[in-house]
Structure 1
């Protein structure tokens, strides 16, 4: 059966089309009452690198999922230090959905995220360090294994090391073998660490 457009759809779309189309006008449209206007503005700001800060600020308060999705798509297209710094700020949010969205967006920006990764993995907040490891899960960067090895060698928090071990069990190579043995000894009283390290070592032996 054909979809029937509601009477309110056309006026909303026409209102959104009347919004200013220059970068300044599009940034202003991010706070429009009509979510269609906000969504279109976020989409068209892909050609406005100076809009990264405004997009991040809107992301932190945007209630509409569809608008958030477009904002994140535009931020990943823009990349750059402002966009990435804003996404890092989102990792500290109490909003779990926003944190997960930021993690997914950062996974798509390996070159921009890489210079920040060691700082994230050394953050005083263990939860943020865990989020940083989560970013590594799908971050296509040649240093992922090295960063994970550094975590299990030096991070004092058992949960951070546990998350890193889970991922290292999937991506680790023989380079990680000695570190896996050492983390078992360092957390000898933690059954899960011993289990995860043994699992990772077992996978190395199978390769």
Structure 2
């Protein structure tokens, strides 16, 4: 039996061009196909305010496929730092969901030294909770200068909660030359049993 070769016409769907952020968002939210969603994510990031929308999507992990969340993290991490919603990304690290926090950490790591400005801004601010948050970011993102920044903070910090958060991380990244500074915290917060316990534990880990 002779075989008849049939030419099957391939239909290639042309992806739309969006004139506004709203159009791109609508396309993203109304499609279930991963390829179309990925395309929409890339287009959304090009619009003013698109980064903020994409970061807000990361916080909706129960409604959005993880493949789309990974794509969002990848696209946001390559945005120009001048327009990227860095503070919104940092807010992800405050959430209880470990998956979301890890996405936030991975994005911030890709920005590298660019986000140090935000860390320093929080570290020198009057808001205790923001100082603690900044310390946690330093520990999670792990800059080359993380230790130096924590040392500088501990030299003057008078809030016990902030100081002890820093001590916890110094236990991991501190060096033997930092032991004298850590010991001085016992005097600064004299009578606080937890301080003695935390400092002694950190020093023990530093010494190995």
Same fold (TM over 0.5): yes
8 Å Cα contact 1:45-1:74 kept in structure 2: no
- Residues 184 and 51 (structure 1 numbering): CA distance in 2 closer, same or farther, change over 3 Å? farther
Q: CA deviation at 1:158?
A: 2.3
d(CA) in 2 for partners of 1:21 and 1:96?
37
Q: CA deviation at 1:91?
A: 3.9
Partner of 2:52: 56
Q: Of the candidates 10, 24, 41, which is equivalent to residue 29 of structure 1?
A: 24
Partner of 1:142: 144
Q: CA deviation at 1:148?
A: 1.0
Gapped regions of structure 1 (runs ≥ 5)? 1-13
1:21-49 CA-to-partner distances (Å, cap 9, x unmatched) read: 67x5788423432254444322x359x6x
Q: Counterparts of 1:1-207 in structure 2 under 5 Å? A: 18-20=14-16, 28-32=23-27, 33-34=30-31, 36=34, 37-42=36-41, 44-45=42-43, 50-51=46-47, 53-61=49-57, 63=60, 64=64, 66=66, 67-83=68-84, 86-92=85-91, 96-97=96-97, 100=101, 101-206=103-208
8 Å Cα contact 1:19-1:29 kept in structure 2: no
- Residues 121 and 185 (structure 1 numbering): CA distance in 2 closer, same or farther, change over 3 Å? same
Aligned length: 185
d(CA) in 1 for partners of 2:193 and 2:136?
22
Higher helix residue share: 1
d(CA) in 2 for partners of 1:152 and 1:109?
26
1:44-97 CA-to-partner distances (Å, cap 9, x unmatched) read: 359x6x4474122332256325333322221112251322xx231354578554
The TM-score normalised by the length of structure 2 is 0.70
Gapped regions of structure 2 (runs ≥ 5)? 1-10
The TM-score normalised by the length of structure 1 is 0.70
Structure number, greater radius of gyration? 2
d(CA) in 1 for partners of 2:106 and 2:165?
17
Q: CA deviation at 1:170?
A: 0.7
RMSD: 3.3
Partner of 2:4: none
Q: CA deviation at 1:144?
A: 0.8
